[in-house]
Amino acid sequence: MKARIATRRSPLARAQAALVADLLVAANPGLQVEFVPVVTAGDRDRSKPIEELGERGVFSRGVQAALLDGRADIAVHSYKDLPTAPLAGLRIAAVPVRADPRDALVSRGGEGLSELPGGATVGTGSARRSAQVRAVRPDLRVHPLRGNVGTRVAKVQDGELDAAVLAVAGLERAGLADAIADVLEPPSFLPAPAQGALAVEVRTDRSDVERWVERINDADSRAAVRSERAYLRDLRGGCTVPAGALATVDGEELRLAAGLFGDGEDPPLTLRGRVTDADALGRQAAARVLAAREQAAQ
């Protein structure tokens, strides 16, 4: 048995694909894996903010194409990079145990967000992170930042920036956890929907591969991400919308914190429901956030 795994070429993407490969081999004795590196639209243009690249799925479409044209059997994505609308012919067969979903601050002097001096420059390529940093510290300067995790950390360490906001999971998977100066705690600082989760995608006509992959699915992680993604989907946006959400599962209960960030945003809301109602809870959160926005605009 052999499985070809499509992944982006970045060090973080390769590390994530290797994590999935290890899980697959452990769950399917005798399975052999090989990797199919792919360059995506987001990899080709690292100068523009993601919001200006003009398409959804800038980090995922190329990897999905490798599945659809038969170059690969399995695709591994950072789940937060996937558009909320599924692609015909493909399905998410597994969400492995989720890593830490929170954001972190990397700073040159080891300061936390509250300790940075006024006027310090904080790098991020995310509209959501930019809005939340400005809400907490309006005296800081937010600077656009793209590139892989190592490049972004290096720009802080080399003095080009005073600090940067990155995902805890990405830093840990890239072997850069020691660079974390401050973990930005929810619900006051909400991560992107599905942050820290991996999506393992297969073709709908490959039931054999689907069986291999389903063995590494974690039900609680999948339910939490499903709720967050339903929230994002009903906001009618993709991964570039400045929305934050974090769902946690406790037994049969699911708790969802959600917000939409920008000028004059309302505080994040928190809803509770049953795990089996994960999608409905996300849709309910989106409806409440949109209704509040419409009322404020009147």
Considering only 70-74, 107-111, 240-244, 287-291, which range has the smallest mean pLDDT? 240-244
Question: pLDDT category, 146, cuts 50, 70, 90?
Answer: confident
Q: Is 210 helix (H, G, I), strand (E, B) or coil?
A: helix
For 174-215, how does the pLDDT look when each residue is reduced to its tens digit (9 = 90+)?
Answer: 999 999 999 999 988 999 999 999 999 999 999 999 999 999
Residue 264 in this model has a pLDDT that exceeds 70: no
Q: Is 81 an active-site residue?
A: yes
Query: Which residue range forms the structural domain that includes residue 227?
Result: 2-99+193-293
Please report, for the domain that includes residue 107, its CATH number. Answer: 3.40.190.10
- Does one domain contain both 200 and 178? no
The conformation of residue 187, written as its DSSP 8-state character, comes to: T
pTM score over 0.95: no
Confidence label for 262 from pLDDT (cuts 50, 70 and 90):
confident
Residue 298 lies in a domain: no
- Tokens at residue 120, please? 């310090």
CA 278 to chain centre: 18
Token pair of 284, please?
Answer: 């309910």
Of 163, 184, 205, which closes a domain?
184
Nearest to 190 by CA among 245, 227, 238: 245
CA distance 223 to 95: 9
- Among 47, 19, 34, 17, smallest CA distance to 145 is for 47
Confidence of residue 263 (pLDDT cuts 50, 70, 90): low
Q: Over the stretch 218-235, which tens digit does the pLDDT of each residue have?
A: 999 999 999 999 999 999
Options 73, 81, 103, 162, the catalytic residue: 81
266, pLDDT greater than 80 = no
